[in-house]
Structure 1
Amino acid sequence: MANIHGLRRNYNLGELREEDLDSNPITQFNHWLKLVIDSGTPDPTAMTVATVSPDGQPSQRIVLLKDVDDSGFVFYTNLGSRKATELAHNSKISLHFPWHFMERQVKICGVAQPLSTGEVAKYFFSRPKESQLAAWASKQSQPISTRQMLMSKFDEVKKKFSAGEIPLPKFWGGYRVVPHEIEFWQGGEHRLHNRFVYSLGDSNQSQGGEHQHWQIQRLMP
């Protein structure tokens, strides 16, 4: 095995000060996200989504962020997937954006709210046809013995829907993650990283958009 305990590097690309932060964490997030997108980095919207099973076992996977505004962070999934099943039991969720090349991370904690059928349909029909077919072909998170069986199922649904529009599957949907905590992390020299967390008080968590009042606090690294 490679010697990994000695792998390390210095973090010195920049500093993060409270006076540099926007009062709205969504505005701050969008600023950082634009920098990642403009850099040409592959999959700039890739994020880790963490959920918890009924017996308390955390689980993570990578999905793509599909929308973000003051109401929350949006992603889509098969409603029979492990993440959707776990969210049905416990809607608490965490997202993480690992923008290591910029020495930055963003962590979001919140509650996942199912999207309306209209919102889901609008996005589903904007997807490439092959992606729509894949949604029908895959029973996400279910065991399968060979990849050939999956490809056969894909060919089957492709033939089935060859004559017209591919309908929205009843088992396909999405979530809006309504945040109550958003942390911004910027690497610092000597492992003295810069961390700032935006938090909503209990009285503010049920409010939306511009009515939210966020408190900012620096955290020890």
Structure 2
Amino acid sequence: MAKRQIFFTLLTSIQRAWRINLFALSAQLAYYEFISIFPLIIVCLSLLGFLPIDNIFLKGADFLSTFMPPSVIDFILNWTDGVRKTGGVTTLLLGAGALIFSGWATAGAFMHAFRIVEREPIRKKFMTVILVKTFFSLVVASLISLVFVIWVAGPALLSLVSLFFRMEEIWNWVWLIIRLPIGILIMTLCVALLYKVLGYRNIIFKEKLYGAFLAAIFCYL
């Protein structure tokens, strides 16, 4: 009985700490919301031809050459050249956007867990429900982030591998054709699972999810 009381006291203390840090978490979500705009802007500008993204890579290589050995610079330039041949710089930018989306999803899952705790008092409801929902929220968020990293940054990773294994250029097009329908199917299942786990009314990053998904499909086509 004493151990159970200590357990619930600890959970109550955590709940109070969550309430105190709620403003900080809201600020963190706003931060992710703010920085997430820039990858999409850069992608759109590069697609429309208004942003000389290749020159930016070259200038970055010149800057790195001041304190890095030439072999590393040559590797970076060869890798970016391979990336441009297999999917363009937009692939890298969308890959960076996937990492930012990982921060979105994690923060959104935690915010949902806090809402559950606020709505369901700890002493009156089963903690199992809260813990299970929080766990699945994090699992689904991590799954979506992993899907974005694999299926959006796939050509960049494939081009990096091709530098070592001399893979055929035709395989890049085959990979593009294969991953498009599979990626759409996986994203659809992830969205359905996300809705099932988190519910229809408490989706925090629904618009961002579909926005990033449509941007990825647009860049592929």
Q: TM-score, normalised by structure 1?
A: 0.22
More strand by share: 1
- Which structure has the greater CA radius of gyration? 2
Q: Larger % of helix: which?
A: 2
